[in-house]
Chains A and B, each alone.
Chain A
Amino acid sequence: MGEVTILKIGKNVIVPIQTELHDHAARKLQMDILNRIEKTGAEGLIIDVSSVSIIDSFLGRLLVETAKMAKLMGTETVLSGMKKEVVLTLIHLGLTMKNLRTALNIEDALILLESLKGKIHEKKEYRRPCGGGGAEYPSYKY
């Protein structure tokens, strides 16, 4: 059970999970991610689970929690690379992972983060009541 690498690329923190995490390791990873966000002031967090063969209720909840915590620190989270088997199983299990932004792969996750940042800046500058920009991701809500 090796350590999970946490990368800082540009303004984003990227976490490719490559090993099967047991519960303590997953909790530690959550802490490490938050520490890294605090240290670097990252704007975005991408957790890539393309090498994870199963997400059970514990890991699923932990991922949702981590995103919420990052959000409280001002960092947007995108979960990328969920396999179709994992997705089917999660739905069977009844875990919908609401409010968690997802992308097919890291590349798409970066694009999504970019567009989110654009929206945030736009909102700050112009205070538009509705619409305007970011049409590629209409599902995103504040």
Chain B
Amino acid sequence: MTTLTSLTDESPATAPRVVREPSVWRLCLSRAGVELRQFFRERTAVIFTFALPVVLLILLGSIFDKQFAAGGIPSSQLLAAGMIAGGIGSTCFVNLATSITSDREDGTLKRLRGQPMPPIAYFAGKVILVLVTAFAEVAIVLAVGAIFYDLPLPTDAGHWVTFSWIFLLGVTGCALLGTAMSSVPRSVRGAAPIVNLPFLVLQFVSGIFIVPITTLPQVLQQIGAVFPLKWMAQGFRSVFLPASAAVTEPAGAWEHGRIALVLAAWCLGGLILCLTTFRWQGRKDG
């Protein structure tokens, strides 16, 4: 850490104060503190974020409860595993897009731009917010899946390694796309429909609500396969369901290689979109 000698001359009689420049690392954590506090203090948003997948899981689960997909897999378990992907999409994509739009509108971004803040600190704060909320969301969905639908939790390291890389690639991709998406709405009030509507459609065509995904019309499946959500859901099914359940997938296999490829491609594309479209100032600031 660099030390500077203060140049202020208000107390010339005393020795100059020795002052420390704040470290980038500390500023990242400080931003994360602000992000987390602001998020968890907004009670209604917290409840909506964490309750929505649970409510959907319970409602849709009641429809699929007594059904079995090919391979004797309970449909409700397919649903629960896929809902993890939906939860990540909602915490990373929807929430992040809305929160950055709001930061742009309420002056957060402009004020931070006027501080001696390294830009990385802002994004680090968002990354930590997104990781914490996504992690909590996954834990809640898994708990509901395990309690209501006997979703088996793997006990071997291999499955958890698979879970980890799908989680990280999925969170990264959704967060980058959420950041890029934040430039689209003109205001916070416009953000909810503009972000939620496409996400709702995407969840539908990605087989989050309807299981198994092969019951969807071919065209919808093909549209879903372009986007990351379907691949995240497929990945999570591979973690929590037995190998025999692979027959419920369109390809009849888990396709881990393809999942990694598609998610990585979206991370890269999302990053390029962010770098080219991110604006620190709102539209009315010119």
- A and B are interacting partners: no
Q: Which residues of B contact A (CB under 8 A)?
A: none
